[in-house]
Each structure stands twice: as C-alpha cells, then as structure tokens.
Amino acid sequence: MNRSTITKTLLLAGMAAAGSLGMAGAHAATIEILCTASEPCGQSSGTTADGTIFEAAANPTEPSTGTGVFKPFVRVQAQGNSDTQSGYNTDYSPDNGINFDTKSGIWTHSVLFGDLGTVDIGGLSYYQFSMDANEEGGRKNQIDLTEIQIFLGGDDLRIPENNGGYTGTQFDGSASDNFLAGYAPVWNLDNALNGDVTVILQASICDNPGQCGSGKGDLNLFILDSLLQGDTDDYFVFYTEYDRVGSGFEEWNYLARTIPVPEPGTLALFGLGLAGLIASRRKLQK
C-alpha cells in the first residue's frame, strides 16, 4: 500500500478508537515504530485517537542526510547516566541556562508558526515533523517518546527561559497544568482523547543494514493542521520527553512552507507592465 492508503487506514482506525473510548478518563496507548514497511520485524506506523500519525522513516543512503542537511531546530541529549531527557527549542544560547536537556548551538533555535508547511495525506492537511534518533545501539536501540507539547504565542516564547520557563510536572503522562512562559500548550500528545501515549522507537531504522546512523532520520510525525491554531507571526515551541534513552541525542526538523514561484507567463506580463510604466513616466518627464 502507498502512504495515502496506509495513513487513511490508520486515521480511520484512530477515529474508531476515539468513538469507542470517548472522553471517559485517561487510558494508556502504545505505538511501536520498529522497522520500515518493507521489513517484517514489527509495526512501522500507528495513529492516535485524534488522528496524529507516526511512521518509520527509512534511513536513505542517497543523498547524505547529515545534520547539516537534516537542519534540525531542536536537539536534546540526556545528561550523565540519566535514562530520561526532555527539552524544547529556544534562542537561549549559554549551556548553563538553557532548558532541561536541550543542547544549545545552531541546531536549536526559535521558529515562527508561519514557517511551517503542510502536506496532504488522504485529502487531509498535516504539519510534518521528522526525528533523527542518535543512540548507540544494543539495549538502548529502542527508546520511548513519551510526550510532545506544542506552544504558540508572542515574543515571550522566543526565549522562554527569560520569561518563567516551563512549569508543571514532567513525565506524568499528562500536560495538565503545564505552562511555558505562561502559555498553555495548544496541543499535546497525552490528552483526554489520546490518553497516555508512548511511542516505542527503534533508534536505527533503515532499509539497508550498515547504512543506519546519525543524521539519517527515523520517525515522521504528522499532526492535523486543524489541531494547531495560531497566527503566522506566533512563535512555535516544540517540547518533547523521552524515556529509556542512551547517551546519544535526538533532534527534530519540520517541513518548511514553500513560497509559490510565479509562472513564466506571469513574470513576462509583469515585465511588460513594468516596461510600460517606465515608458509612460519618461513621456511625462518630457
């Protein structure tokens, strides 16, 4: 099946689950992303009750997809021997003041909501994000993505650390009473409809053994655009929590909005109009 067929099936399954579960209290949900669709090793995609889609992203061999090509906007790495990590994108730069386990540098920075692009899947519009997991393999090759929260708002969210930072209880299976610089999340993975979601991710998914590794991409995330409402000049903050992680880092990028390029005919008409305007001005000057 192609992506459109697969994701339509997943979305319908998620809607059916939502209908049967309703809003009656929190429940646990697990999505396993253990291989690509072409590998008989387990699940390669899954959806939540609110229609959020997770799918394996095979590590391509051509072209190279190192960090410089992947272009992440947030990078998180566990400190010391911790099995958990969390963090969010920001413009705060000094390591000793940046939030939680987020790594400062050019690959962590603020993003405007208007910079995000959408993709059509089965006739529905989604925002797309991709994660590159960088773990050492072995027993740490499977990690748990336990929470995602998205915040939208004004300039306070460009550097939340200067404006109260993140408040609330981490790793509790809920975004209840969590705020960032005074803003509540506009969307979170663990919500009343989805329940407490855990995405178990194989951190070195690839179609070709030996071609796995850093900068290759492992997970695609699709969130319905109807679930994220904001202004184009709002700051967009992407907060994540992980469990069972190793010493490597996890980083995310987003599908950027494309700016339409005028067709050649339109450019030609514009050029003729500009030439006519210049000619008429010259006549007036004479």
pLDDT at site 18: 44
pLDDT at site 186: 97
pLDDT at site 265: 56
Residue 128 in contact with residue 119, Cβ under 8 Å?
yes
Per-residue pLDDT of 80-101, as tens digits, reads: 889 999 999 999 988 778 999 9
Whether the model clears a pTM of 0.75, i.e. scores above it, the answer is: yes
Per-residue pLDDT of 13-38, as tens digits, reads: 444 444 434 433 458 899 999 887 76
Q: Which of 61-75, 159-173, 218-232 has the lowest mean pLDDT?
A: 61-75
pLDDT at site 21: 40
CA separation, residue 68 to residues 65, 101, 132, 233, 249 (Å)? 8, 21, 12, 26, 15
Q: Which amino acid is at 135?
A: E
Average pLDDT over residues 42-55: 93
Instruction: Quote the mean pLDDT of the chain.
Output: 81
Would you say residue 45 has pLDDT above 80? Answer: yes
Per-residue pLDDT of 133-192, as tens digits, reads: 888 655 557 899 999 999 999 999 999 999 999 998 999 988 888 999 999 999 999 999
Residue 191 in contact with residue 175, Cβ under 8 Å?
yes
Please tell me what DSSP assigns to residue 209. T
